[in-house]
Structure 1
Amino acid sequence: MELHDACLRGDATNMEMQLKNGVGVDETNSDGWTSLLVAAQHGHDVMVKFLLRYGANVDARTPNGSTPLKLATNGGYLAIVRLLLDAGANVEIEGYDGYTPLHLASKNGHTSVVKLLLDYKPLVDVPSRDGITALGFACVLGDLDSVAALLDSGATVNVVDNDGWSPLMAAALNGHQAVVRLLLTWGADINAKGPRQATALRIAAEKGHLEIVQDLLDDGAWMDEPSDDGTTPLYIAAKQGYGEIVQLLINRGADSNRQSQTGCTPLIMAAMYNHVEPLRILLDNGADVDLEDIGGWTVLSMAYFSGYPELVHLILERRPASMIDPAAVSQIRVQCRNKQRFLQHTTR
């Protein structure tokens, strides 16, 4: 339709002429969109102002349930959002996808739009279909100003989504240190457990976010709290090869000999994944080289059978010579050298 085309082009003169000539302001095009929906989608604030003056339905919906406010919010068009709200747009209306305008503004990092929407007092803890609130979306993104505004407006700091993720866990996962700190000042449950019974500390340690691990420890996070498989933050840091986090946790008193449900220790995991620095740190801090997993594997046998000669020598250097069978040591060293030569030959 010509009216819709004028809106799409941002042609205010043509659009006003058609409206004065009696074209229905809420007529839909072949896609089922009104002119106001088209103008809001494309960020034409002058068009929106004209259409509202002519009585356009401020809460019209597209076939998939989006309103002008949702479209403008999704695009971050602050001026249009203000026009629509001043015209009485429903600030809490959900699309057929379950998202509210506040969800979309938070999800897309439109901080100014978030703050404007909050001025109209929407329900801040409405969950999406995945159970994620506006605060959760802002924490995933790391939008500190939006997080602060939502908390100031009464957002629940310890709300969890359908999968058990809290805002603190989401911020820790994505490495947003400032958001983590803010959530902690608002009373976020630092030791709450999410998916697989993981805490925020475990999540941050697994992703290698050293500064966040530091902050969580400073705020009282339980460093030896296991997840559902019995693994601790130290275990997962050793597995991932994050030497600085391993050192930090040990300095704070983490149990370097804590075994998982399969009997693995942080030391064995460091050997399994050929992480030299975490293994060196664990050995230097007295990790037990004799502990076995349920399959009978020690750190030495794991390093040997995994084909990591450097780790084997590192372990043997720190093992009391009187406690090692010389014949076994000789055999291990020869076999490791042979395996290393084989690997070098096959990768040339």
Structure 2
Amino acid sequence: MTVHGSSRGGFIVGKPVFPVSYVQEVSQRLVDAFHENDVKLAYECLADPFVDVNFTGTVSLKAKKSEILLHEEAAQEVLVDYEEFKTEVTALFLAAHVGNLPLAKKLLSLGANVNHKLFRGYATTATVREGHMEILEVLLNAGACQEACEEAFLEASRLGFTRHTKRLMATDMIRPHVALRALVSACCRGYVDVVDTLIKFGVDANATDRVLLRSSKPSLYANIDCNALAAAVVSRQTSVVRLLLQAGIKVDLKVRLGAWSWDIDTGEEIRVGAGLAEAYSITWCAVEYFEASGAILRMLLRHLSPNTLHYGRTLIHHAILCNNALAVEVLLNCGADFDFPIKTTSRTELRPIHLAAKLGFAKVLQCLIVSGCDINSRTAFGDSALMICARYKREDCLKVLASAGADFGLVNSAAQSASYIAGLTRWTHGFHQAVVDVIHAGKTPQSSNPSVFSPLMFTIQANEIEALKKLLECTDIDLNEQDDDGYSAVMIAASGGHVEIFRLLLSAGANVKLSNKYGETAISLLELNQNGDVFDQLMLEYALEEANGPIGFYALHRAANRGDLNMVHTLTSRGCDVNAFDADGYTPLMLAARGGYGGVCELLISCGAKCDIENARHETALSLAKKRGYENDAENVILNELAQALVVDGSRVKKHTRSGKGSPHSKVLRMMESAGVLRWGKSSRRNVICKGAEVGPSEKFRWNRRRKFDVEEPGMFHVLTTKNKEVHFVCDGGVEMAQLWVRGIRLVTRDAIFGQQK
């Protein structure tokens, strides 16, 4: 065989022969021409008799792609974009891709294979993907196979191309299960027109198909057997759901899409993961995969009751479990029973409000309260929602309930209140903070039993000053309420040392005279407190500001007890009764004497305080002063006053004559205060000025009465006159009274001679 060579080929027996490399080269140029949309070059290549129109070449193809963007409670969104990648293509695939109808027809006329499948699908797939309707028609007429038609059909349903979908359905090349898959896919993507077209072509919307369902809330990415309605609900496609319902799709189906399961015996919930729970009704699916406007759920509830039981629960319980306040609101507006209890074999009787409190869903709880549910309803064990909040440490829910007026005074079957349960669960601080926050917000916690819980007592025990100010703004607060032990708010403040709290209660008019069952008052409790002086000063200041002072507070007594000379002076100048008894039976003078405050005693006496007053315990100012120790200032002041009063007022005594030689006889002895004269008769001899006075007899008297055996008679005292005469007297009352006479004689005489001592 003779071969005539050349750079492009040779001849065999007069015929040209081209190497394989040339066929590939010209065919690749054809593919490149189509890819670059170079029509002239494309026709030149097609004119070459050795070009292979079905040649598969590699190009960098820029093709359309679609992605699903998930939203939490809104419809899935289809994002269409272009991506560029290297892939194998044919000239017909590229013609269909770019939409060049003349070249596509030319290729088909030259024998291009319409059913050549590539990595990116058939030519029919490419033309549908890019939306070229006329080329699709040409390809169908050119004999596109069933697989090519079905793949193009699915692509049309994924991109929402209604015309292409309708044309392909009209070919009778689409099998029922493929049509169903396209329907479910279009439902997921919200292509209403595509769905409508498929239904009109008779696709069974009630049939199920295994499809990939996706959701971000709750998280779902799984292949699920479902029908068109379930796919639309999970994808939150409101318009599609409306269309399907109008088309008469069945709603009494069960779908396995739930993420929650629960124990039918105890009612305890278990999160098992989306798609793993027991199959439930489509309305339950609409709750778990809730669409924000609530339109889908409302449409379904026109066909199904919200109160149908599913393993002992209704839709309202499921909406609460999913923590979806909007779904709860929709259900309540559609007639859901907000007091229906969860049915369990143990009969726990957990109602929706209890479930919301247990799970800590404050917004859901608020929806239930607004709808009018009983916020104080009880479980089978007597627990209220408040108690459940305390047990599970749900601070936000407790605030919602407290603000709505939940009763803190209730107790359960174990006699436990919400505050008591908070202590058991070691949540006292959180409980206190929640209640205080409610009070700060201007709400007063309610209690039907103050002995169980009192907002006033609670605030004071917690020493919450700002919260107390808020409570005091309320007109229905009883400042003088007492607990089971008789303690009032002001008593608790006094015993706890809460100075500012005490000040606020005092200003608000709290009664400090009340006593508890132990006989203690706020005043007596102040004395036991280490801040007693601070409290006293506070009350004294308030007494000066108010005309009558706080109820039951003895301002002058407290000032005297503190030894506050300036305050005593101020109060006495305002007319306070210097001889009044306080609640414990003491006069101001007695209290000053007990404290050893001589200056205060002197001031009180000058204002009319009586030294000889005796209380029920038979105590006097003098006896109390003596308990301080020997001759303290207070004792001296009181003794001086008693002595002066004694000698000035006078009394009957026994007088001895002739320095004890004569017989004693009775006389009335007194002193003339201004003159300093001691007097026991009218004659000048019986009106003397003393230059000395002593208790007991003189030596001369002792000698003169040595045989009378009355020399040491109790109550004897004698004076020495300015004329050096001794006069002996015997008073009733023994030595103490004799000492008082001597003291008084000396004081009056001194004052008369030298003037009254300041």
TM-score, L = length of structure 2: 0.32
Three-state SS of the structure 2 residue aligned to 1:243 is helix
* Match in the other structure for 2:333: 148
Q: CA deviation at 1:10?
A: 0.8
1:205-233 Cα shifts (integer Å, max 9, x gaps): 9542379624x6xxxxx652235782338
Q: Give the Å deviation of 1:80.
A: 1.9
CA distance in 2, matches of 1:208, 1:144: 20
Whether 1:58 aligns to 2:206 is yes
Q: Which moved more, 1:87-96 or 1:199-208?
A: 199-208
1:213 maps to: 404
Which residue matches 1:95? Answer: 256
Between stretches 228-237 and 2-11, larger displacement belongs to 228-237
Gaps in structure 2 of 5+ consecutive residues = 1-150, 211-222, 259-278, 390-394, 423-430, 472-476, 506-511, 513-521, 536-758
Aligned residue for 2:165? Answer: 15
Deviations 1:16-38 (A, max 9, x none): 2333331334239xxxx922221
Partner letter of residue 166 of structure 1? R
CA distance in 2, matches of 1:25, 1:285: 82
d(CA) in 2 for partners of 1:3, 1:274:
75
Residue 351 of structure 2: which of 166, 179, 196 is its match?
166
Q: Would the alpha carbon gap of residues 24 and 231 (structure 1) be closer, same or farther in structure 2, given more than 3 Å must change?
A: same
Cα 1:246/1:48, change in 2 over 3 Å? same
- Mapped to 1, the partners of 2:377 and 2:314 lie a distance apart of 20
Q: Look up the SS of the partner of 1:64 in the other structure.
A: strand
Query: Could you tell me how far apart the structure 1 residues matched to 2:382 and 2:202 are?
Result: 55
Matches within 5 A, 1:245-284: 248-250=444-446, 254-258=448-452, 270=459, 275-279=464-468, 281=471, 284=479
Give the residue type in structure 2 aligned to 1:55: V
- Give the 3 Å change call, closer, same or farther, for CA 92–23 of structure 1 in structure 2: closer
Q: Distance in 1 between matches of 2:388 and 2:339?
A: 19
Corresponding residue for residue 47 of structure 1: 194
Question: What displacement does 1:103 show?
Answer: 1.9
1:24 to 2:175 alignment: yes
C-alpha displacement of 1:288: 4.9
CA distance in 1 between partners of 2:499 and 2:205 (Å):
76
Segment of structure 1 superposing worse, 232-241 or 101-110 = 232-241
Q: Quick one: which of 199, 203, 206 aligns to 2:385?
A: 199
Normalized against structure 1, the TM-score is what?
Answer: 0.62
The CA distance in 1 between the partners of 2:375 and 2:399, in whole Å, is: 21
Contact (CA 8 Å) 1:103, 1:137: kept in 2 or not? yes
- Whole-Å separation in 2 of the counterparts to 1:276 and 1:118: 51
Shift of 1:156: 7.5
Q: Distance in 1 between matches of 2:398 and 2:255?
A: 34
Amino acid at match of 1:324: L
Give the structure 1 partner of residue 296 of structure 2.
113
Distance 2:441 2:379 in 1: 20
Counterpart Cα distance in 1 of 2:480 and 2:442: 11
| In 1: Cα distance, 2:313 partner to 2:404 partner | 24
Q: Relative to total residues, which structure has the larger strand share, 1 or 2?
A: 2
Matched residues in 2 for 1:148 and 1:269: separation? Answer: 38
Greater mean deviation of Cα atoms: 139-148 or 230-239: 230-239
CA distance in 2, matches of 1:99, 1:302: 61
AA aligned to 1:7 is S
2:342 alignment partner AA: V
Other-structure match for 1:38: 185
Query: Counterpart of 2:244?
Result: 84
Distance 1:137 1:274, change over 3 A: farther
Mapped partners of 1:287, 1:234: distance in 2: 19
Q: Distance in 2 between the 1:47 and 1:195 partners? A: 56
Deviation at 1:192, TM superposition (A): 2.8
Specify whether residues 45 and 229 from structure 1 end up closer, same or farther in structure 2 by C-alpha distance, changes over 3 A only: farther
Q: Which has the higher helix share?
A: 1
Deviation per residue, 1:297-329 (Å, 9 max, x gap): x977998xxxxxxx9323454582321345633
User: CA separation in 2, counterparts of 1:88 and 1:100?
Assistant: 14
Aligned length: 296
- Corresponding residue for residue 136 of structure 1: 317
1:258–1:266 CA contact under 8 A, matched in 2: no
Q: CA offsets per residue over residues 124-143 of structure 1, 9 Å max, x none? A: 4233x7x6532335575145
The alignment's C-alpha RMSD in Å is 4.9
In structure 2, C-alpha distance between the alignment counterparts of 1:137 and 1:275, rounded to whole Å: 40
Residue 243 of structure 1, CA deviation: 1.0
The residue type paired with residue 158 of structure 1 is F
Q: 1:41 to 1:232 in 2, by over 3 A?
A: same
Distance 1:206 1:40, change over 3 A: closer
Change (3 A) 1:233 1:150: farther
Matched residues, percent identical?
12
The answer to whether the 8 Å contact 1:177/1:211 transfers is: no
Alpha-carbon distance in 2 for matches of 1:234, 1:278: 21
* Alpha-carbon distance in structure 2 between the residues aligned to 1:69 and 1:192: 39
In the aligned structure 2, how far is the partner of 1:27 from the partner of 1:136? 38
Aligned partners of 1:191, 1:316: CA distance in 2, in Å?
A: 37
Separation in 2, partners of 1:57, 1:226: 55
Q: 1:314 corresponds to which residue?
A: 500
Alpha-carbon spacing, 1:301–1:72, altered in 2? closer, same or farther (3 Å): farther
Offset from partner CA, 1:251-284 (integer Å, 9 cap, x none): xx5334427xxxxx86786578764344564894
Relative to 1, partners in 2 of residues 1:325 and 1:34: Cα closer, same or farther, differing over 3 Å?
A: farther
What CA distance in whole angstroms lies between the structure 1 residues aligned with 2:502 and 2:307? Answer: 59
